[in-house]
Amino acid sequence: GESVGLHLPTLSVQEGDNSIINCAYSNSASDYFIWYKQESGKGPQFIIDIRSNMDKRQGQRVTVLLNKTVKHLSLQIAATQPGDSAVYFCAENFPVGGFKTIFGAGTRLFVKA
Amino acid sequence: DTEVTQTPKHLVMGMTNKKSLKCEQHMGHRAMYWYKQKAKKPPELMFVYSYEKLSINESVPSRFSPECPNSSLLNLHLHALQPEDSALYLCASSQDGAGWEKLFFGSGTQLSVL
């Protein structure tokens, strides 16, 4: 049978719809958060970031929301396109000696044409 | 130039071999990182260098030995690896490791240990 953790959470959306990807972070001392997109055969690529003194930040077609009370981040992608199909990771950055960037579990986004 | 270049792209090695992974960036960044990524998992931090000094070692086994010869280059020396070390090894760089910095990643080296 399947083992827990072998499969990424998956979100399937229709082309043109909006996508929302959620993430829970773990460290209350984290003060900077980043969303990365990873396509097959490539390294993670920066999408958008937000500092802990903000609760919302908008980019081109993407918006990040931060709720520090419940340690939750979300990534909203407007008018999702086939090229948005990828694995999306949230990452938190916190000081410990130097600064660490630690990645969350990831969500696979499928866009149906 | 906003690229981080990793070589080789693929590597197969036996458990008694010694090999090295290489990473190069020319963005003037002063912080460089090694991450390990297993299939369907997030990248896991291994090492952080800031201004050519090792600042973070995430309790990585000594069979992995990082080296930062200068601010543009980062190596990962491999010796006596185990099959469970098979993974995608990602290099990244950032401005100076002082916080609030996005990371720029290479495409990785896919390592298979037989």
Identify the three-state secondary structure at position A84. Answer: helix
Which of A4, A99, A100, A107 is the best mutation test for B, with the most CBs of B within 10 A? A99
- Amino acid, single-letter form, for residue A94: F
CA dihedral B2, A33, B45, B43 (to 10 degrees): -80
Residue pLDDT, tens place only, A45-65: 999 999 999 999 999 999 999
CA nearest to A30, candidates A78, A91, A107: A91
Among the partner-chain residues A42, A49, A95, the one whose CB lies closest to the CB of B102 is: A49
Residue A98: band (very low, low, confident or very high) from pLDDT cuts 50, 70, 90: confident
Residue A7's pLDDT is what?
A: 65
Contact B97 A99 (CB under 8 A): yes
Cβ within 8 Å of residue B12, ≥6 positions away: B111, B112, B114
Contact A106 B42 (CB under 8 A): yes
CA nearest to B39, candidates B3, B75, B86, B73: B86
Residue A39's pLDDT is what?
A: 96
Residue A4's pLDDT is what?
A: 40
Residue B1's pLDDT is what?
A: 65
Contact B102 A106 (CB under 8 A): no
